[in-house]
Amino acid sequence: MNILVLADHDRGTPKKIAHQLLTAARGLADGEVHALLMGADAGAHAEQLGAYGAATAHVWDDSDAEDYATEPQTAALVAAVQASGAQVVLYPGDPLLSDVVARAAVRLEAGVVTDVTDVERDGDALVATKPIFGGDMLSRCQVEPGRPQMLGVKANAFAEEEVGGSPADVVPLEVTVDDAARRARVVEVVEEQSSGRPEMTEAPIVVAGGRGLGEAEGFALVEQLADALGGAVGASRAATDAGWYPHQHQIGQTGKTISPQLYLGVGISGAIQHRAGMQTSQTIVAVNKDPEAPIFSIADLGVVGDLKQVVPALVEEVEKRKG
């Protein structure tokens, strides 16, 4: 079984999710692991993916990938599946790629499983696990035997692990893009304003604040704790709806899904819609003054207390230990 990883990158620098998916692929493949990198400067550091187990990196560095995203990228993904002989594609479960993967799946007659949080081998088959019903249940899915399978894996579902293998063999990917594929083009890209903190879905540590903060200014406490830990800032919907923090930081069913090594929630009750976006976090810590708050039922560590006292004490302790 060869596996192709759709390796997301930032101007040629592979993102953490690319390393995570390659690590997962290495554990599942009994054939070769391949990577596909698309877009401007895609090949700049492609050989480095060998350290995570990619034998070959297929690179498509073409303005078509940037300017006419969906159709040309679909053609590239199909070409890479054919060139690599992959029966399985692991891709980042990112809304930006779902249109590309869906189209490629139709062309390849492949089965698709989205929101995957784990993949295991069962003989020759792969079994993917995904949360359903807002994360209340786990579903185990298997693609019909004989079909290619495309698994959209959530960020941080797998840990990244280097193997120190030899550099990947970097090969340019031949992609034919016809005029019909250029019907829709990207006309403008608006960069999100950066806070200097890590991106929430990529960060290993996320500190999230909720209505218990009492006011927008309460988020200063959350930011202090996030900065002390080197983490990202998240929020409940009650906090974003109140205008206390921008909506792109909302975690949950109608916000973003995160799966960091550490989630620290302060003044968040743990409603089911919030839990749907964070309950696969590896370690969950909650600070809440109500001992009956539902978040404590999924927390590994809970502190019952007033966040206005607990959070500053925590920041002080973290700073002290950092020396």
Ligand X SMILES: Cc1cc2nc3c(=O)[nH]c(=O)nc-3n(C[C@H](O)[C@H](O)[C@H](O)COP(=O)(O)OP(=O)(O)OC[C@H]3O[C@@H](n4cnc5c(N)ncnc54)[C@H](O)[C@@H]3O)c2cc1C
Residue nearer to ligand X on the CB measure, 98 or 253: 253
Q: Write out the two tokens for 99.
A: 């249109």
Residue nearer to ligand X on the CB measure, 38 or 293: 293
Question: What Cα–Cα distance (Å) separates residue 15 from each residue in 11, 21, 110?
Answer: 10, 10, 26
Residue nearer to ligand X on the CB measure, 42 or 222: 222
User: 211 in helix, strand or coil?
Assistant: helix
Q: By rule CB under 6 A, what string of x and - marks binding of each residue 153-192 to ligand X? A: ----------------------------------------
Q: Write out the two tokens for 111.
A: 């089965």
Q: Write out the two tokens for 276.
A: 């749907």
211 binds ligand X (CB under 6 A): yes
DSSP state of 90: E
The DSSP bridge partners found for residue 128 are 119, 141
Q: Which stretch binds ligand X (CB under 6 A): 145-153, 184-192, 206-214, 225-233?
A: 206-214
H helix or E strand, kind and range, residue 266? strand 262-266
237 binds ligand X (CB under 6 A): yes
53 binds ligand X (CB under 6 A): no
255 binds ligand X (CB under 6 A): yes
Q: According to DSSP H, which parts of 181-306 are helical? A: 219-229, 237-241, 272-275
The CB-of-305 to ligand X minimum distance in angstroms stands at 7
Burial of 129 (C-beta count, 10 Å sphere; 0-12/13-18/19+): middle
Q: Which stretch binds ligand X (CB under 6 A): 64-72, 78-86, 160-168, 207-215?
A: 207-215
Q: Write out the two tokens for 190.
A: 């608006």
Residue nearer to ligand X on the CB measure, 148 or 255: 255
Rounded Cα distance between 128 and 119, Å, is 4
Q: Which stretch binds ligand X (CB under 6 A): 19-27, 99-107, 157-165, 237-245?
A: 237-245
250 binds ligand X (CB under 6 A): yes
Residue nearer to ligand X on the CB measure, 113 or 295: 295
The CB-of-300 to ligand X minimum distance in angstroms stands at 18
Rounded Cα distance between 92 and 103, Å, is 16
Q: According to DSSP H, which parts of the chain are helical? A: 16-28, 63-67, 70-84, 95-108, 219-229, 237-241, 272-275, 307-322
- The interface with ligand X within residues 266-305 (CB under 6 A) comprises 267-269, 271, 273-274, 277, 287-290, 293
Rounded Cα distance between 247 and 225, Å, is 20
- Among 214, 238, 236, 248, residue whose Cα is nearest residue 286: 236
The CB-of-303 to ligand X minimum distance in angstroms stands at 9
Question: How many of the chain's residues bind ligand X (CB under 6 A)?
Answer: 28
Q: Which stretch binds ligand X (CB under 6 A): 65-73, 105-113, 114-122, 205-213?
A: 205-213
Q: By rule CB under 6 A, what string of x and - marks binding of each residue 103-142 to ligand X? A: ----------------------------------------
Contacts 24+ apart (CB under 8 A), 217-220: 218/244, 218/267, 218/307, 219/244, 219/245
Q: Write out the two tokens for 129.
A: 């696990």
Residue nearer to ligand X on the CB measure, 206 or 239: 239
249 binds ligand X (CB under 6 A): no
Residues that bind ligand X (CB under 6 A): 210-212, 236-239, 250-255, 267-269, 271, 273-274, 277, 287-290, 293, 306-308
